[in-house]
Amino acid sequence: MSVSRLFGATVKRREDPRLITGKGMYTDDFKLPGMLHMVILRSPYAHARITSLDVSKAKQLPGVHAVLTGKDLAGKVNPIPTAWLIPNSDLKTPAYPALATDHVRYTGDAVAAVVAETPAIARDARDLIEVNYEPLPVVTETEKALAAGAPQLHDDAPGNQAFHWSFANGDADGAIDTAEVVVRHRFVQQRLIPNAMETRGAVASWQPGADELTLYNTTQNPHIVRFLCSVINNIPENKIRVFARDVGGGFGSKIPFYGGDALTVFASQVTGRPVKWIEDRHENYLATIHGRDQVTDVELAAKRDGTMTGLRVKAYSNMGAYLSTAAPGVPTWLFALIVPGCYTIQDYKCDVWGAFTNTTPTDAYRGAGRPEAAFLIERMTDLLAGELGMDPVDIRRKNFIPADAFPYTSGGTLTYDSGNYQGTLDKALEMANYSGFRQQQQQLRQQGRYQGIGLSTYVEVCGLAPSPAAGAMGFQGGLWEPATIRMLATGKVVVLTGTSPHGQGEETTFAQLVADQLGVAVEDVDVVHGDTGAIPMGWGTYGSRSTAVGGTAIFKATQKVIEKAKKIAAHLLEAAPDDIVFDSGTFHVQGSPDKSKTIQEIALMANLAWNMPEGVEPGLEESSFHDPTNFTYPFGAHICTVEVDPDTGEVKILRYVAVDDVGVVVNPMIVDGQVHGGVAQGIGQALYEHAIYDEAGQLITGSMTDYAVPNMTQIPTVETARTETPCPHNLTGIKGVGETGTIASSQAVVNAVVDALSPLGIKHIDMPLTPERVWKAMQAAKSAGSSSASQPGQPGQ
């Protein structure tokens, strides 16, 4: 494709003026006439039987319109389905009701809902609901839940096992048995809270008579919401219109359709009035999905020269109390297939156990399985380098898939489309002044100072992706994308996209892409998203898929528009279509540039249809339905340098260098922003964030005063750079950037801290690397002498 001015240009985000001046339309900004307000009563116990539930006093409070309990939902609101049914496993899908009837399974499990004139009345009435609970034994950790004698959550999931899933290629056992060197380690991926700026919420408006639902929802995928709402609330899909106007972030947490959403719809049906439900932050922490929470045992086999020969992984994933919408696919497919990373490891085996525990359900959180995979292989690579006395750079170079080996089939399944891993590493090393840092590090060590440098060379799989692959993996949906380009009589352009941007800036990048192809001003292109009434279909925004899949669909639709316009131009210019040249928005006859029509003139004629060529229908609107043939595989090299305060254990990040290759870039500023945000979240996981439950299953990091989302003073300047290796299997060359930052970054920080503390013999510290954990690791290492001291995980300390 031609790359001209707009494609690849830093165009300021057109979304920003309204968002930063408070004129965005988030779910809570919709105020409908007669609207009521709903609040949800949630269990204060992590595990209990409900022995009695009395809502009579709450119902009597003036201003209360309805109090809903689990019994009211029978036959009206179905349980939340699991939408990723992983094959070749013993997956159990216990019922996940919107309101519990007799058994609550996590702190925050919904028990009743109050609908009232004002939020304050609803909140007061909630305090009047009388519930008696009989507390049951609690289990919050995966391995304890899978152990014999553990408290049982679901009758239909014996031993709390949600699934055991396996993947293997080649002979990992043999490779490990015969290896010259085997490095073994256990890693804890702590539980995280997604923390979208806008908490979840819904405004539901049921029109009795018409029997139609309008639902304003903060979601990443309004069409999936339409489908799930249809299934859960028993409303025909064609009677539901879902709006997702401005959505204040999601990070995966707004993929699912939740019980609270279904209750809002039901409350509107019961009361005959519009109903609004908006989480407060505490409710968001309890009731919106969490991320990660996985323990892995890893064995990496190698030759003495550093060549990696085999890999075996056992992963234990905490699914929470119920299976959230996409949950089973995250620690299996999205994790396991990419674990070998950038390296030529073919003998590979992975077993994953998912367990039910008395905790908030987990699901996709930015990166979804791939950060866990990249962390694991990149930490193991450093551990192997340490074992062999090799430099972390050398061991990576030795094992990289060479640039001339693409397309490359890794571990028997994924076919990496394109890559040049040496290229991004070389650039990052140069930016970070690797050799200079190593010299300075030695000098500072003489002074008792601990500086370290950490590498992360990653590849990820995104641009989700071929629908047949989704089907083969048990994902209960497709992953294609539609696009419609409509040229109006005035020459203005409407773009309909099924993706649902919620911070990624596609109103701008898609307009750039279309303006570039059609040769119109970017200001004349409007991108419409988040309205199932206007947009035929869409699978949403997640998995770094919007621009690679939805953008390619838009690109294909522009070509159809040009093709049709060319026929009309030929007719008007009295030439053969094959003799018409389209350039920068103008059609002209080959060799006669003066005989021309602008695309706006063609659009006007197409809409008037006064003089159309024979067989060409009126209008200038074309659609494309794009289903890619493969995933995309962005990659890169991140380097972090740190200094550790030996007295307090505090980690200070000195520099952070991110060299990414995300294929062809539409808008460099927006891509940089995606990297900045992703790296901030990855640093958050490495140093600060941890959702902690106590023994009784109480979330003790239940607010932003306890759970540390890093603020700007806790994040360094991220020095970004790129190489550009186009995606070979789509028309745009775009790969996707939404998740690279989180996938690449946590291990760069941890590798740097471990490198800093390597003189003490420290080999690993589990995340988050809080000052106390680092200090304790240093204390333990000092008392153990400098021989070896690896810190085991200390979850919940």
Provide the minimum distance between the beta carbon of 55 and another protein in the complex, in angstroms, as a whole number. Answer: 19
How many residues contact another protein, by CB under 8 A?
A: 32
Of 202 and 687, nearer to another protein (C-beta) is 687
Question: How many C-beta neighbours within 10 Å does residue 130 have?
Answer: 12
Contact stretch for another protein (CB under 8 A) within 444-452, 483-491, 514-522, 645-653: 645-653
Amino acid present at 307: T
Fill in the per-residue mask, 225 to 264: x = in contact with another protein (CB under 8 A), - = not in contact: ----------------------------------------
686: nearest Cα among 776, 755, 642, 746: 746
The CB-of-768 to another protein minimum distance in angstroms stands at 9
In whole angstroms, the minimum distance from the beta carbon of 779 to another protein comes to 9
The residues that bridge with 114 in the sheet, in sequence order, are 39, 67
Among 52, 238, 446, 705, binds another protein (CB under 8 A): 705
Is 431 near another protein (CB under 8 A)? no
Q: Which residue number, 629 or 711, has a Cβ lying nearer to another protein?
A: 711
Residue 669 touching another protein (CB under 8 A): no
Question: Which of 708, 731, 780, 784 touches another protein (CB under 8 A)?
Answer: 708
Is position 386 an interface residue for another protein (rule: CB under 8 A)?
A: no
**Smallest gap from residue 448 Cβ to another protein (A):** 13
Which of 46-54, 265-273, 581-589, 647-655 is the region at the interface with another protein (rule: CB under 8 A)? Answer: 647-655
- Closest CB 261 distance from another protein, rounded Å: 20
Give yes or no for a cis peptide into 236 (omega within 30° of 0).
no
> 546: which DSSP letter?
I
Report the distance separating Cα 579 and Cα 514, nearest Å: 24
Q: Residue 57 interacts with another protein (CB under 8 A)?
A: no
> What's the rounded Cα separation, in Å, for the pair 283 and 290?
12
CA 161/CA 159 separation, integer angstroms: 5
Where does this chain touch another protein (CB under 8 A) — which range of 558-566, 617-625, 698-706, 735-743? 698-706
| DSSP 8-state assignment for residue 789 | B
> Does 688 help bind another protein (rule: CB under 8 A)?
yes
Instruction: Give yes or no for a cis peptide into 768 (omega within 30° of 0).
Output: yes
Q: Which of 489, 494, 692, 784 is the binder for another protein (CB under 8 A)? A: 692
Residue 501, Cβ density class (10 Å: 0-12 exposed, 13-18 middle, ≥19 buried): buried
Stretch touching another protein by CB under 8 A, among 96-104, 340-348, 664-672, 686-694: 686-694
Query: Of the two residues 59 and 776, which places its CB atom closer to another protein in the complex?
Result: 776
- Alpha helix ranges (H) inside 249-391: 259-271, 281-287, 333-336, 370-388
Rule CB under 8 A: choose which of 562, 707, 715, 730 binds another protein.
Answer: 707
24 binds another protein (CB under 8 A): no
Give the contacts of 435 (CB within 8 A, at least 6 positions apart): none
**Residue 776 in contact with another protein, rule: CB under 8 A:** yes
Sign of the C-alpha dihedral computed for residues 395, 396, 397 and 402 taken in this order: positive
SS3 699: strand
322-335: string of b/e by CB count within 10 Å (b at 16+)? bbbbbbbbbbbbbb
Sheet holding 620-626, edge to edge: 525-528, 493-497, 481-487, 620-626
Interacting residue with another protein among 451, 499, 624, 770 (CB under 8 A) = 770
* Site for another protein contains 1 (CB under 8 A): no
Q: How many CB atoms lie within 10 A of CB 134?
A: 10
- Decide whether 412 or 646 has the Cβ nearer to another protein: 646
Closest CB to another protein among residues 16, 280:
280
Say if strands 651-661 and 718-722 run parallel, antiparallel, or are unpaired.
Answer: parallel
Nearer to another protein, 592 or 797 (CB): 797
Q: How near is the Cβ of 770 to another protein at its closest, in Å?
A: 7
Shortest spacing between CB 709 and another protein, in angstroms: 7
C-alpha dihedral sign at 610, 614, 615, 620: negative
Which residues, 102 to 141, sit near another protein by CB under 8 A? 119-120, 123-124, 127
Binding mask 163-202 for another protein (x = CB under 8 A): ----------------------------------------
CB 742 within 8 A of CB 462: no
Spell out where 498-585 has E strands: 525-528, 580-583
* Span interacting with another protein, options 139-147, 298-306, 493-501, 708-716, rule CB under 8 A: 708-716
| Contact pick of 71, 403, 700, 728 for another protein (by CB under 8 A) | 700
Both tokens of 539, joined, read 């699978």
Q: Is 772 in the site for another protein (CB under 8 A)?
A: yes
797 binds another protein (CB under 8 A): yes
CB of 688 to another protein, least distance (A): 5
714 belongs to the binding site for another protein (CB under 8 A): yes
Report CA-CA distances (Å) from 175 to 181, 182, 302, 315, 667.
10, 10, 9, 19, 45
- The alpha carbon torsion through 691, 693, 699, 705 (nearest 10 deg) reads -50
Does 648 help bind another protein (rule: CB under 8 A)? yes
Cis peptide before 577 (omega within 30 of 0): no
Nearer to another protein, 412 or 710 (CB): 710
- 61 is a site residue for another protein (CB under 8 A): no
Tokens linked to 513: 């892409």
CA-nearest of 636, 694, 643, 640 to 665 is 636
Q: Which residue has tokens 């055991």?
A: 164
Specify the amino acid at residue 445.
Answer: R
Considering beta carbons, is residue 108 or 477 the nearer one to another protein?
108
Q: How far is the CB of 33 from another protein (least distance, A)?
A: 22
Assess 704 for contact with another protein (CB under 8 A): yes
What is the CA angle 639-643-645, rounded to 5?
Answer: 155
By CB under 8 A, the residues from 283 to 302 that bind another protein are none
3-class SS of residue 315: strand
Residues 137 and 48 sit within 8 Å (Cβ to Cβ):
no
Q: In the complex with another protein, which residue's Cβ is closer, 529 or 690?
A: 690
Closest CB 625 distance from another protein, rounded Å: 44
Using CB under 8 A, list all residues that contact another protein: 119-120, 123-124, 127, 280-282, 647-648, 650, 687-688, 690, 692, 700-701, 704-710, 714, 770-772, 775-776, 796-797
